């Protein structure tokens, strides 16, 4: 683990000086600060705080000094200033999810919060690392630290100081849309990674906000009213350990509550979670914060400190009314504020605060302008380069080789052997999916095909998309200015008449797609003819040096190649054309765009109009997030399948407005004709026949369970499964080999095709360097070493929520809840879900419907569930192959209770590389069952330690020792009384006494060595 580095500064108060104003300059679209020495003295008028918070003031004081500063600040603040810490100011315009103003007169800067966890969501280019599931499969705490460092360093460089994520919810099952942002199904591994990632963020002077507390393992948002019923043992053994470790060992300074209820009470008002567990058991001193729109009434007295994105229930008015009625005291308010100030301090943001001789905080009289956080483009560019390499390393070490029959990998191109790359995500990189993440630096994004061709030679690698979604701009010969077809082209008019668009709940927040307000362009009337007939609807940023321009801007493009619209141009246009279909059949019609609002429609018949909408600007940002991939110049893709008749003309309308300084407006209306679709597929099958090794790329994003048990599936869609089968048949008939590469977030079932392919490589959603990492592994430049952090079921019915109708039904039991209040309706309006009280009442009804999910399996999730019910998964937890082989031997187990432990063991064994190439092995240690009281659950096998043995040469042996600690040897005994430990924390952990086994092996189902222990 990398050592924590903290910049220390002798307090200005001890030197009798203040801090001077930083010299601020402009650079591009971000203001950056060239920090000057703290050379301002305390003037006669009193202390003067700088305009920007300087790095020299990023001081992390001792807890004693922090307590003194917090006490002084609480004495010095007005009530209004205190409440400014207890609720957000809404979402920002630089991608930030929210902000707090600070108290500038007392030296407290503003705070900006940015979303994660797969990179920092921002207005500016930031690094998109692999999803957290891929980080988990590295089993590497150093990489987890670096993963956190990506977020902390870039958050700080763009002027933030709070990172909303890491997400450390455990993966309960694969049917969950947010599972992409989880780190596997095992609490021991998750806790290790959570501690390291937390430190990586906070060592950059950024508060790590852990989310979502707690038991957030299936879809829930402010409107679903999801109630999770979970046992106390399962809560503490599965769902809470990572939070506990990140707080107690990682020093996490903030926790975000989840949208769901836990055992009948919403997390934001759950006193057991927020007061009993966080404050009493764990002695947590940082702040709690609601998820956006997730506050359940007045919660300041129930453990919530900050309400986001706006103060609604926890307002000063409501709090003071409760103080007047005796329900709460001022101490409730002050305590909540102290938690927020503590987090500020632990990240270094109370460094300007000074205490006078009377115990008050020194004041800059009359100061109202906020102390801003520095935004530094030069620093951002520097850390992006460093962080892109970290992202690549995570992808390299997180890739899991699942199948490799007859050494089909690494690819062999000797003796004129060739390779075919087939699939949408082979020809286009899928770096990540979904919201609350960075969308990456597209200049860093290259496809696996490009990278393989660069390494093996273009003559050795053939690429075929098979099933495309990008298409090509519809040629002018099929576009007419009128229904009669008198002239080819597209008529352009000024302004847009407006479009309703559609809304969707994206990870708990409402997003608009294709919505446009009627708007004129300059002095022109809406609909006024520009006199321009465009040949096509194809406006892009062109090329740079003959390659696609991946800058989102026309500046610097090759002459004559770029025709996108800048915001300065004032572009607000409507394009109208009539598309003549050249053949009968199903077309893919595709609207592509970025840099503003883009909408479109095709009038298929009098009864049918097909509408297209791209995601509107969100928090001041817009990224190509609407589809799995983007176009080469960074446009979002919105495809629709439409059946058209040959020779018939269809009216097409596309509207767009340039709205962003940072991205020029790009718009394209494209298609894939029936004949092109057929040719794409046939070309892929021909490539399978004629190339020695065929690499088929497939992709899948985990979603919630479907409406019925039978419809629920973790499988690839039917078209992709059929492509794999068709390719395998053609390849094998011609003596060729087939490898599948998966891009996905959670388990993919593969019963229909796994036996038909020779190799399988799990690449998850691998981040912006994923194309490079994939090629490195396929070619053997990197030897895969990742191990699964979740088990993969054999079939769709082999999960704990689909193994029976009863289990499926327990996932969502509808129950009548309490009646909605006007405050409930107003909160939804404030969040943008409804635009009026009437609409909210109509949409929500009068009575809440609660959806109860019974986590009746308790601690038996993931591999523990498969073990408990004797169901064989396709690939078990901890599984992963290498291009070499390893042997385990010489197991010894010795008692060794480390400091603070009453029991513990050292497990020592030897691992030998028995193959022909260097490789890395992740050796795993598991505990067998112990005898426990009736009603207590105990897993047949549970992970209790591991060691990543790196870069072992052929024939090399290494002896390693893994410590099994007291916590691993214990269970949470619900019926016990809380025990207070020496450090003041409390728990019900009880050592499982008696005889049990310790196992060592390469995976949870490949335990090679074992030894008995007797715990006393």
Concatenating the DSSP letter of every residue in 915-959 gives: SSS-EEEEEEEEEE-----TT----SEEEEEEEEEEEEPTT-EEE
579-583, 665-669, 687-691, 836-840: least confident range = 836-840
Residue ranges of E strands in 724-772: 737-744, 759-762
DSSP bridge pairs for 578: 480, 651
Half-sphere CA count of 613, side-chain side, radius 13 A: 17
Helices (DSSP H) in 702-857: which residue ranges? 718-733, 770-779, 805-809, 822-830, 837-844
Instruction: Specify whether the CB–CB gap between 202 and 345 falls below 8 A.
Output: no
What span, in angstroms and rounded, lies between the C-alpha atoms of 271 and 301?
9
Q: Longest C-alpha distance within the chain, in Å?
A: 93
Each residue of 141-167: b (16+ CB within 10 Å) or e? bebbbbbbbbbbbbbbbbbbbbbbbbb
Provide mean pLDDT across the span 441-450. Answer: 96
Angstrom distance (rounded) from CA 453 to CA 270: 55
The sheet with strand 994-1003 has its strands ordered as: 941-952, 919-928, 994-1003, 1006-1015
Residue 908: count of CB within 10 angstroms of its CB: 15
Are 129 and 350 in contact, with CB atoms under 8 Å apart?
no
Distance CA 387, CA 338 (A): 34
Q: Of 1002, 969, 1004, nearest to 864 (Cα)?
A: 1004
Contact of 563 with 541, CB cutoff 8 Å: no
Give burial (CB, 10 Å; 0-12/13-18/19+) of 738: buried
Q: Is the pLDDT of residue 341 over 60?
A: yes
Q: H or E segment at 181?
A: none
pLDDT tier at 121, thresholds 50, 70, 90: very high
Element (H, E) at 656: strand 649-658
Average pLDDT of the segment spanning 752-766: 98
Sign of the CA dihedral running 1002, 702, 714, 588: negative
As a whole number, mean pLDDT of residues 368-380 equals 96
Q: What pLDDT, on the 0 to 100 scale, is given for residue 38? A: 36
Give residue 619's pLDDT band: very low, low, confident or very high (50, 70, 90): confident
Res 414: pLDDT: 87
The token duo for 807 is: 């289990």
Rounded-to-integer distance, Cα 319 and Cα 713, Å: 48
End-to-end CA distance of the chain: 32
Give yes or no for residue 737 having a pLDDT over 80.
yes
The CA-based angle 209-215-220, given to 5 degrees, is 85
Extract the runs of DSSP E, i.e. beta strands, from 101-234. Answer: 111-115, 162-167, 207-213, 226-229
Contact 627, 637 (CB under 8 A): yes
Q: pLDDT at residue 305 above 80? A: yes
pLDDT (average), residues 413-437: 94
Percent of the chain with pLDDT over 90: 82
**Cα(107)–Cα(364) distance, rounded to whole angstroms?**
8
No. of helices (H) and no. of strands (E), the chain: 21, 46
Task: Compare 226 and 42 and report the one with higher pLDDT.
Answer: 226
Q: What is the pLDDT of residues 868-896, one digit of tens each?
A: 999 999 999 999 999 999 999 999 999 99
Q: What mean pLDDT comes out for the span 540-567? A: 97
Distance, C-alpha 690 to centroid of its chain: 40
- Alpha-carbon gap, residue 544 to 864, rounded angstroms: 53
Q: Give the CA-trace dihedral at 380, 381, 384, 386, to 10 degrees.
A: -110
Comparison of pLDDT for 206 and 812, the residue scoring more: 206
The whole-number average pLDDT for the span 755-782 is 98
Say which residue the tokens 């728990």 belong to: 987
Do the Cβ atoms of 293 and 309 come closer than 8 Å?
A: yes
Report the sign of the C-alpha dihedral through residues 603, 604, 607, 611, in that order.
negative
Phi-psi region at 832: left, alpha or beta (left = phi > 0; alpha = psi -120 to 50): left
Task: pLDDT band for 32, please (50, 70, 90 cuts).
Answer: very low
Whether residue 699 contacts residue 430, with contact meaning beta carbons closer than 8 Å, is answered with: yes
- Least confident residue range of 26-30, 66-70, 505-509, 605-609: 26-30
Task: Please check the confidence at residue 509 and state whether its pLDDT lies above 70.
Answer: no
- Which residues touch 631 (CB under 8 Å, ≥6 apart)? 470, 540, 592, 624, 637, 668
> Cα–Cα distance between 882 and 919 in angstroms, integer?
7
The per-residue pLDDT for 660 is 94
Q: What is the DSSP string of 197-249?
A: HHHHHHTTT-EEEEEEETT--S---TTT-EEEE--HHHIIIIISHHHHHHHHT
Q: Report yes or no: 384 and 443 within 8 Å, Cβ to Cβ.
A: no
Q: Under 8 Å CB-to-CB from 178, ≥6 apart: which residues?
A: 167, 169, 216, 219, 434, 507
23 pLDDT higher than 60: no
Residue corresponding to tokens 């007169």: 105
Tokens of 905: 């063991």
Contact in structure between 714 and 759 (CB atoms under 8 Å): no
Q: Is the pLDDT of residue 845 over 90?
A: no
Say whether pLDDT at 12 is over 70: no
CA 483 to CA 578: how far, in whole Å? 6
Quick: pLDDT tens for 632-680: 999 999 999 999 999 999 999 999 999 999 999 999 999 999 999 999 9
Here the tokens at position 603 are 């009038």
**More confident call, 1002 vs 830:** 1002
For position 507, what pLDDT does the model report? 54
- Residue 561: CB partners within 8 Å, gap ≥ 6? 542, 543, 549
Q: Cis ω on the peptide bond leading into residue 593 (within 30° of 0)?
A: no
Six-digit token string for 561: 């190649």
Ranges 187-196, 574-583, 824-833: which has the least confidence: 824-833
**pLDDT for the residue numbered 270:** 98
User: Which pLDDT value is given to residue 508?
Assistant: 54
Say what the pLDDT of residue 197 is: 98
R_g over Cα of the chain: 29
Lowest mean pLDDT among 129-138, 176-185, 498-507, 929-938: 498-507
Q: Contact, 52 vs 20, CB < 8 A?
A: no
What gap in Å lies between CA 178 and CA 164, rounded to an integer?
14
Instruction: Give the confidence band of 813 by pLDDT, cuts at 50, 70, 90.
Output: confident
Asked if the bond preceding 584 is cis, omega within 30° of 0, the reply is no
**Around 969, how many Cα atoms within 13 Å sit in the side-chain half-sphere?**
25
Dihedral angle computed from the Cα positions of residues 82, 85, 88 and 94, in that order, rounded to the nearest 10 degrees:
130
Q: How confident is the model at residue 65 (pLDDT cuts 50, 70, 90)?
A: very high
Distances (CA, A) of 749 to 132, 458, 791: 20, 33, 11
227, 267 in Cβ contact below 8 A? Answer: no
Q: What is the mean pLDDT of the chain?
A: 92
- H runs (alpha helix) in 632-743: 674-690, 718-733
Q: Which residues have a Cβ under 8 Å from the Cβ of 547 and sit 6 or more positions away?
A: none
The answer to whether residue 40 scores a pLDDT higher than 50 is no
- Residues of the chain with pLDDT > 70, as a percent, come to 94
pTM of the model: 0.93
Strand partners, 303: none
């Amino acid at each position: 683990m990398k050592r924590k580095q903290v910049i220390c500064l002798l307090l200005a108060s001890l030197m009798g000086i203040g801090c001077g104003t930083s010299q601020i300059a402009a650079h591009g679209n971000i203001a950056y600060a060239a920090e000057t020495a703290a050379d301002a003295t305390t003037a006669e008028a009193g202390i003067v705080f700088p305009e920007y918070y300087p790095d020299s003031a990023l001081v992390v004081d001792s807890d004693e000094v922090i307590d003194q500063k917090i006490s002084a600040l609480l004495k010095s603040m007005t009530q209004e200033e205190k409440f400014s810490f207890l609720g957000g100011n809404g979402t920002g315009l630089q991608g930030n999810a929210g902000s707090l103003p600070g108290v500038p007169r007392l030296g407290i800067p503003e705070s900006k919060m940015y979303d994660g966890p797969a990179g920092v969501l921002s207005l500016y280019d930031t690094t998109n690392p692999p999803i957290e599931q891929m980080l988990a499969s590295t089993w590497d705490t150093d990489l987890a630290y670096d993963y956190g460092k990506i977020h902390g360093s870039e958050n700080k460089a763009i002027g933030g100081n709070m990172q909303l994520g890491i997400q450390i919810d455990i993966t309960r099952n694969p049917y969950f849309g947010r599972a992409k942002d989880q780190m596997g199904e095992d609490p021991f591994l998750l806790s290790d990674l959570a501690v390291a990632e937390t430190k990586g963020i906070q060592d950059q002077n950024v508060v790590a906000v852990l989310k979502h507390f707690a038991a957030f393992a299936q879809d829930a948002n402010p409107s679903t009213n999801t109630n999770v019923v979970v046992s106390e043992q399962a809560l503490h053994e599965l769902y809470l350990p990572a939070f506990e470790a990140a707080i107690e060992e990682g020093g996490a300074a903030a926790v975000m509550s989840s949208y769901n209820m836990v055992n009948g009470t919403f997390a934001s008002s759950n006193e057991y979670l927020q007061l009993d567990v966080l404050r009493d058991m764990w002695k947590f001193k940082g702040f709690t914060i609601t998820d956006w729109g997730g506050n359940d009434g007045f919660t300041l007295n129930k453990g919530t400190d900050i309400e986001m994105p706006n103060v609604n229930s926890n307002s000063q008015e409501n709090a003071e009314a409760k103080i007047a009625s005796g329900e709460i005291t001022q101490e409730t308010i002050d305590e909540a504020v102290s938690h927020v100030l503590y987090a500020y301090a632990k990240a270094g943001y109370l460094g300007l605060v000074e205490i006078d001789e009377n115990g008050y905080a020194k004041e800059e009289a009359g100061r109202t302008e906020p102390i801003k956080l520095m935004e530094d483009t030069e620093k951002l560019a520097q850390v992006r380069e460093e962080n892109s390499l970290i992202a690549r390393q995570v992808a390299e070490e997180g890739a899991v080789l699942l199948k490799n029959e007859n050494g089909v990998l690494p690819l062999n191109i000797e003796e004129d052997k060739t390779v075919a790359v087939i699939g949408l995500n082979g020809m286009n990189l899928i770096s990540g999916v979904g919201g609350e993440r960075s969308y990456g630096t597209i200049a860093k994004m290259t496809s696996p095909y490009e990278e393989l061709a660069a390494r093996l030679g273009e003559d050795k690698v053939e690429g075929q998309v098979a099933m495309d979604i990008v298409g090509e701009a519809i040629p002018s010969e099929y576009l007419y200015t009128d229904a009669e077809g008198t002239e080819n082209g597209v008529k352009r008019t000024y302004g847009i008449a407006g479009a309703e668009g559609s809304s969707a709940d994206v990870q708990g927040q409402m997003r608009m797609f294709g919505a446009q307000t009627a708007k004129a362009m300059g002095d022109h009337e809406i609909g006024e003819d520009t006199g321009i007939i465009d040949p096509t609807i194809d406006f892009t940023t062109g090329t740079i040096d003959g390659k696609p321009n991946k800058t989102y801007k026309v500046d610097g493009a090759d002459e004559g190649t770029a025709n996108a619209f800048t915001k300065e141009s004032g572009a607000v246009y409507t394009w109208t054309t009539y598309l003549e279909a050249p053949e009968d059949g199903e077309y893919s019609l595709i609207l592509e765009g970025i840099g503003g609002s883009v909408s479109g429609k095709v009038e298929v018949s009098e009864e049918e109009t097909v509408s297209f909408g791209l995601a509107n600007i969100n928090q001041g940002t817009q990224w190509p997030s609407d589809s799995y991939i983007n176009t080469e110049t960074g446009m979002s893709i919105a495809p629709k399948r439409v059946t058209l008749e040959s020779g018939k003309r269809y009216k097409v309308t596309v509207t767009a407005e340039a709205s962003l300084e940072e991205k020029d407006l790009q718009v394209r209306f494209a298609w894939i004709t029936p004949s092109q679709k057929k040719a794409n597929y046939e070309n892929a099958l021909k490539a399978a026949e004629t190339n020695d090794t065929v690499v088929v790329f497939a992709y899948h994003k985990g979603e919630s369970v479907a409406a019925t048990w039978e419809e629920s599936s973790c499988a690839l869609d039917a078209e992709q499964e059929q492509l794999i089968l068709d390719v395998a048949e053609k390849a094998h008939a011609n003596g060729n080999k087939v490898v599948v590469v998966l891009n996905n977030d959670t388990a993919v079932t593969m019963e229909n095709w796994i036996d038909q392919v020779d190799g399988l490589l799990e690449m998850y959603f691998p981040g912006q360097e994923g194309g490079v990492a994939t090629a490195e592994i396929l070619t053997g430049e990197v030897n895969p070493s990742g191990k699964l952090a979740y088990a993969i079921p054999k079939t769709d019915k082999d999960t704990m929520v689909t193994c029976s109708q009863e289990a499926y039904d327990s996932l969502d039991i509808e129950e009548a809840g309490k009646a909605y209040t006007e405050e409930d309706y107003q909160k939804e309006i404030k969040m943008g879900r409804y635009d009026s009280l009437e609409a909210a009442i109509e949409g929500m009804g009068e009575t809440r419907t609660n959806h109860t999910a019974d986590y009746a399996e308790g601690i038996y999730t993931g591999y523990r569930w498969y073990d408990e019910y004797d169901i064989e998964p396709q690939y078990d937890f901890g599984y992963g192959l290498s291009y070499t082989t390893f042997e385990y031997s010489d197991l010894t187990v010795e008692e060794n209770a480390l400091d603070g432990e009453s029991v513990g063991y050292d497990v020592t064994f030897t691992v030998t590389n028995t193959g022909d190439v260097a490789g890395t092995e992740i050796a795993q240690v598991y505990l067998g069952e112990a005898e426990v009281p009736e009603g207590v659950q105990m897993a047949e096998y549970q992970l209790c330690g591991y060691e990543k043995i790196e870069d072992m040469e052929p024939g090399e042996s290494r002896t390693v020792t893994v410590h099994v600690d007291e916590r691993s040897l214990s269970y949470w005994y619900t019926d016990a009384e809380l025990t207070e430990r020496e450090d003041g924390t409390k728990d019900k952990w009880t050592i499982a006494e008696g005889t049990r086994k310790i196992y060592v092996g390469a995976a949870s189902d490949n335990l090679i060595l074992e030894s008995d222990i007797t715990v006393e």
